Structure 1
Amino acid sequence: MAEADDPRIYFAAERTLLAWVRTGLTLVGMGFVVARFGLFLRIVRNAPDAPTHAGSTWIGVGLVVLGSVAIGVAAWQHAKFWHGLAKSQRTQPGVMRWSVIFALLISLIGLALGGYLVVSANSAETGRAAAVAR
């Protein structure tokens, strides 16, 4: 088999994309846990009115955004690599599109989660400040 016709080249690129998706999902999950850790501590202490520490929220949001960006960049690099392959090495376009679309959707959902964490942290802080002012 000639090296130009070797399907293992594309399969290696596909495994690399999947590894980045797995890594990004891990970062998103860890970021969510870190962002919500302050809420967990307030529940465990049975002190719902205790002040929150914005550090865990912002570190968690940073991890969520980092994971989402990693997935998006991996999808972009995979598509760029696929277009750079010789025609004999390419898979059907639908196979590549599904992988890239899936990764981009996960990336967008992760970015939406990061936005949600920021908005919910700000609204919780605003609600607590209003309750203290009364």
Structure 2
Amino acid sequence: MSELKDPRVFFAAERTLLAWSRTSIVMIASGFGIERASVLIQAVTHGRTTADKTGVVFWVGLAFIALGTFAAFCSSRQYIVVLKTLTPEEYPMGYGTKCGLAINTIVAVLGICLGIAVYVGHVS
């Protein structure tokens, strides 16, 4: 439990959450870009590339999407834990505390949706 009684403690926790949110988005976007690289490799080589090479690229991209999604969920959980340790004096008056959490959770859910869509698109 924090005993600082300073709203800056809350703002520091929120900044950390949003930094993790940006990191999650970058990992998910990078994973999608890496996965799409397998399609580009196939197009450039006119299908002469072995399935092993493009398969590895696909799985690495999917792993990045999963890692970004996992980071979003974990950071949301950590933020909730930090919020529980704060005293009422550390919350800014009239300031919503759940907006960053909602955004980060949505990023995680969209990451799951993208991962599923990429996998289904690859399998079919």
Q: Which runs of 5+ in 2 are unaligned?
A: none
Find the counterpart in structure 1 of residue 97 from structure 2: 96
Structure 2 residue aligned with 1:117: 118
Shift in alpha-carbon separation, 1:81–1:93, aligned structure 2, 3 A: farther
Q: Which residue of the partner structure matches residue 10 of structure 1?
A: 10
1:62 corresponding residue in structure 2? 63
Mark the CA change 1:22 to 1:75 in structure 2 (over 3 Å): closer, same or farther: same
Alignment length (residue pairs): 120
Max radius of gyration: which structure?
Answer: 1
Q: Highest relative contact order (Cα 8 Å, sep 6+), 1 or 2?
A: 2
Q: Whole-Å Cα distance in 1 between the matches of residues 58 and 94 of structure 2? A: 40
For residue 19 of structure 2, what is the aligned residue in structure 1? Answer: 19
Whether the aligned pair in 2 keeps the contact of 1:79 and 1:96 (CA below 8 Å) is no
TM-score (norm. length: structure 2) = 0.86
The alpha carbon displacement at 1:72 in A equals: 1.2
Query: Could you tell me the TM-score, scaled by structure 1's length?
Result: 0.80
Q: Percent identity?
A: 27
Hey, what's the Cα distance between the residues in 2 that align with 1:93 and 1:107? 27
User: Could you tell me how far apart the structure 1 residues matched to 2:113 and 2:72 are?
Assistant: 14
The answer for unaligned runs of 5 or more in structure 1 is 124-134
Amino acid at match of 1:106: V
Moved over 4 A (4+): 48-51
Q: Deviations over 1:34-89 (max 9, x none)?
A: 111110122223x2586542111111111001001101111111122112101111
How far 1:92 moved relative to its partner? 6.1
Structure 1: distance between partners of 2:50 and 2:110: 29
How many Å separate the matches in 2 of 1:92 and 1:110? 33
- CA offsets per residue over residues 79-108 of structure 1, 9 Å max, x none? 221121011112468722211111101100
Query: For 1:94 and 1:108, how far apart are their aligned partners in 2?
Result: 25
Q: Which residue of 2 aligns with 1:37?
A: 37
